[in-house]
């Protein structure tokens, strides 16, 4: 009898993170999808990966990155950004509609972004956000049909990126935009901080010789987040627009969102690693690299966010990777307000959450995998293709060594600019291998491959509006 090869790849002997448990099983892959999951698969395979001692998880899905192309590719690009994601165990991402030029607020701009992605080459699969700004209400429907998976708006200023910059919405544009997006059955994500409060409180610091990190925190208090969250939840209730709250920095906001959810509002909430691993004191010590909005809060907020994760009240975790050239983080000691606000960190999300969530705080791995993969996949219509290790799903898989301690060095980073707030931090876990639709895109030994086979994922409207909380 001939020994017929029927699997392309077999991942053998790992601890596999399934939706409800961690199980010692093998994974067989054929034609880029998971063909079999069972103990001790005997089918022959072209390639076998020895995963003994390793954790095998669904690749992370980073729903919140800013890759800056077209237009501002010297900040970050599709190739470098996605290489960093692959090295960090991430197998799909959704690129934000801003921090590139033009911002993705029209179909023409969306096509320019797709061209930029194709020209650069992308290591893992990707989807796109469309923007909601005061001037593009008439473009939303077309943009939705063209394939953006969801929309994003800012309630406070996103920072100035020059001529043609993305603009925050006023309440009317937000309310009207939500009605249109609701009709298109898409989700609107919102950066929720009150512009009115921030502008008023920032005035006090204008003209000062020195403006510090502490001043910045004072100008963007928790009240600014809570006020905006309440307002947009009210709009979501009235318009029935599915809402997603990005980078929520406080358990107080999570509790307000949870209450709305219990009252039937279709809302999800994300937080980011930086709010889970740092406090305001860390942010002051770390300086420019830790500047972000909303700002990093106190230790009670940090621990309160972990408690809400344990309670299942936070839907998912995303990086909000928002890098810039190093020159834009300079002179922070003189004027912290003047430097770019945004954290560079997407390569570290999975390892940080593995260390701090699972190893330190005992978060079960299936829950971690839900936060990193399944929940974002469901919310933005990538599920049931992505988001789980299950037969028929894309073979988007990451192998993690749970005990490979090291101090993160900048040379390890694959971003355009090898700087990150996490450089110098002690890590315990390390991504060993990342696979995208059955192709190995990263190994710890050999780095990122040169295939750049990432594909654009167009929205699948009928799948978008799946409730996460049953």
Residues in 60-79 that interact with ligand 3AL by CB under 6 A: 66
Nearer to Zn ion, 247 or 430 (CB): 247
Question: Would you say 64 is a known binding-site residue?
Answer: yes
Q: What span, in angstroms and rounded, lies between the C-alpha atoms of 383 and 458?
A: 12
Q: How many chain residues bind ligand 3AL (CB under 6 A)?
A: 12
Nearest distance from C-beta of residue 348 to ligand 3AL, angstroms: 16
Q: Nearest distance from residue 171's CB to Zn ion, in Å?
A: 18
Place of tokens 């709250």: 245
Query: What is the distance between the alpha carbons of residues 247 and 294, in angstroms, rounded to a whole number?
Result: 8
Q: Give the interface segment with Zn ion, choosing from 169-177, 312-320, 330-338, 367-375 (CB under 5 A).
A: 312-320
Q: Nearest 5 degrees, angle CA 281-CA 286-CA 292? A: 85
191 appears as a binding residue in the annotation: yes
Q: How far is the CB of 295 from ligand 3AL (least distance, A)?
A: 9
User: If binding is defined by CB under 6 A, does position 99 make contact with ligand 3AL?
Assistant: yes
What is the closest distance, in whole angstroms, from the C-beta atom of residue 341 to ligand 3AL in the complex? 4
From the list ligand 3AL, Zn ion, none, which binds 159 (C-beta under 5 to 8 Å, kind-based)? ligand 3AL
Which helix (H) or strand (E) is 24 found in, with range?
strand 22-24
Q: State how far the Cα of 259 lies from the Cα of 253, in Å rounded to an integer.
A: 10
Contact 380, 92 (CB under 8 A): no
Task: Determine which residue in the list 158, 177, 221, 438 makes contact with ligand 3AL, applying CB under 6 A.
Answer: 158
Closest approach of Cβ 107 to ligand 3AL, in Å? 22
Residue with the closest Cβ to ligand 3AL? 292
Burial (CB count <10 Å: 0-12, 13-18, 19+), residue 311: exposed
Tell me how far apart the alpha carbons of residues 159 and 167 are, in angstroms, rounded to a whole number.
9
Residue 58 interacts with, from ligand 3AL, Zn ion, none (CB under 5-8 Å by kind): none
Q: Which of 320, 351, 355, 401 binds Zn ion (CB under 5 A)?
A: 320
Q: How far is the CB of 5 from Zn ion (least distance, A)?
A: 45
Q: Which is nearer to ligand 3AL, 129 or 442 (CB)?
A: 129
**Least distance in angstroms from the C-beta of 66 to ligand 3AL:** 5
Q: What is the DSSP string of 414-470?
A: -SSS---TTTT-EE--EEEEEEETTEEEEETTTEE-S--B--B----HHHH---S--
**How far is the C-alpha of 79 from the C-alpha of 401, rounded, in Å?**
25
Rounded to an integer, what distance in angstroms lies between the CA atom of residue 92 and that of residue 61?
A: 5
Query: Does 191 participate in binding ligand 3AL (rule CB under 6 A)?
Result: yes
x-or-dash string of contact with ligand 3AL, 434-463, rule CB under 6 A: ------------------------------
Residue 74 annotated as binding? no
Q: Which does 292 bind (CB under 5 to 8 A by kind): Zn ion, ligand 3AL, none?
A: ligand 3AL
**Nearest approach, Cβ of residue 78 and Zn ion (Å):** 16
**Distance separating alpha carbons of residues 106 and 136, to the nearest angstrom:** 7
The set of long-range contacts for 459-462, using a CB threshold of 8 Å and a minimum separation of 24, is 459/127, 459/144, 459/147, 459/148, 459/149, 459/150, 459/186, 459/380, 459/381, 460/381, 461/144, 461/184, 461/185, 461/186, 461/381
Nearer to ligand 3AL, 344 or 369 (CB): 344
Rounded CA gap, 109 and 131, in Å?
A: 10
Are 297 and 305 spatial neighbours (Cβ–Cβ below 8 Å)? Answer: no
Residue positions counted in the chain = 470
The contact pattern for ligand 3AL, residues 234-273, with x = CB under 6 A and - = no contact, is ----------------------------------------
- As measured in angstroms, the least distance from the Cβ of 108 to ligand 3AL is 21
Pairing between strand 15-17 and 7-12?
A: unpaired
Of 338-377, which residues contact ligand 3AL (CB under 6 A)?
341-342
C-beta of 159 vs 366, nearer to ligand 3AL: 159
Under the criterion CB under 6 A, does residue 100 sit at the interface with ligand 3AL? no
Tell me which residues in 186-225 interact with Zn ion (CB under 5 A). Answer: 191
Site string for ligand 3AL, 282-301 (x = CB under 6 A): ----------xx--------
Based on its alpha-carbon atoms, the radius of gyration of the chain, rounded to whole angstroms, reads 21
274 labelled as ligand-binding? no
Of 70 and 341, the one with the shorter C-beta distance to ligand 3AL is 341
β-pairing, 7-12 vs 26-30, is: antiparallel
Q: Which residues bind Zn ion (CB under 5 A)?
A: 191, 320
Q: Which residues bind ligand 3AL (CB under 6 A)?
A: 66, 98-99, 158-159, 191, 292-293, 320, 322, 341-342
Residues annotated within the binding site for Zn(2+) are: 64, 66, 152, 191, 247, 320
């Amino acid at each position: 009898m001939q020994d017929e090869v029927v699997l392309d790849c077999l991942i053998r002997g790992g601890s596999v993170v399934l939706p409800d448990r961690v199980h010692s099983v093998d994974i067989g892959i054929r034609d880029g999808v998971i063909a079999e999951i069972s103990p001790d698969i005997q089918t022959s395979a072209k390639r076998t990966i020895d995963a003994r001692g390793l954790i095998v998880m669904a690749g992370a899905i980073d729903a919140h990155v800013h890759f800056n192309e077209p237009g501002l590719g010297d900040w970050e690009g599709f190739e470098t950004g996605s290489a960093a994601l692959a090295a960090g165990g991430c197998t799909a991402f959704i690129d934000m509609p801003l921090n590139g030029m033009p911002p993705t607020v029209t179909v023409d701009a969306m096509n320019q972004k797709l061209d930029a992605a194709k020209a650069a080459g992308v290591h893992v699969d990707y989807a796109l956000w469309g923007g909601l700004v005061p001037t593009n209400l008439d473009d939303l429907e077309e943009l939705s049909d063209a394939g953006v998976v969801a929309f994003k708006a800012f309630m406070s200023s996103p920072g100035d990126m020059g001529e043609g910059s993305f603009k925050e919405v006023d309440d009317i544009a937000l309310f009207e935009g939500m009605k249109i997006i609701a009709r298109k059955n898409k989700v609107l994500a919102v950066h929720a901080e009150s512009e009115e409060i921030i502008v008023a409180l920032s005035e006090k610091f204008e003209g000062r010789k020195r403006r510090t990190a502490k001043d910045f925190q004072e100008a963007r208090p928790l009240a600014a987040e809570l006020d905006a969250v309440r307002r947009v939840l009210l709009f979501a209730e009235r318009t029935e627009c599915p809402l997603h709250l990005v980078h929520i920095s406080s358990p107080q906001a999570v509790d307000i969102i949870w209450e709305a959810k219990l009252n039937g509002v279709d809302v999800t909430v994300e937080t980011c690693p930086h709010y889970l691993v740092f406090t305001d004191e860390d942010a002051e010590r770390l300086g420019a690299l830790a500047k972000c909005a909303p700002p990093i809060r106190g230790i009670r907020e940090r621990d309160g966010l972990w408690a809400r994760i344990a309670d299942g009240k936070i839907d998912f975790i995303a990086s909000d990777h928002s890098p810039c050239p190093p020159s834009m983080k300079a002179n922070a000691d003189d004027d912290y307000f003047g430097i770019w606000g945004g954290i560079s960190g997407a390569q570290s999300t999975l390892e940080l959450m593995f260390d701090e969530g699972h190893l330190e705080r005992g978060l079960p791995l299936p829950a971690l995998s839900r936060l990193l993969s399944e929940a974002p996949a469901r919310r933005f219509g990538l599920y049931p293709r992505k988001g789980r290790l299950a037969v028929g799903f894309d073979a988007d898989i990451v192998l993690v060594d749970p005990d490979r301690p090291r101090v993160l060095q900048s040379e390890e980073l694959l971003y355009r600019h090898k700087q990150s707030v996490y450089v110098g931090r002690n890590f315990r876990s390390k991504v060993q291998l990342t696979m995208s639709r059955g192709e190995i895109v990263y190994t710890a030994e050999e780095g990122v491959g040169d295939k750049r086979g990432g594909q654009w994922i167009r929205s699948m409207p009928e799948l978008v509006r799946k409730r996460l909380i049953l």
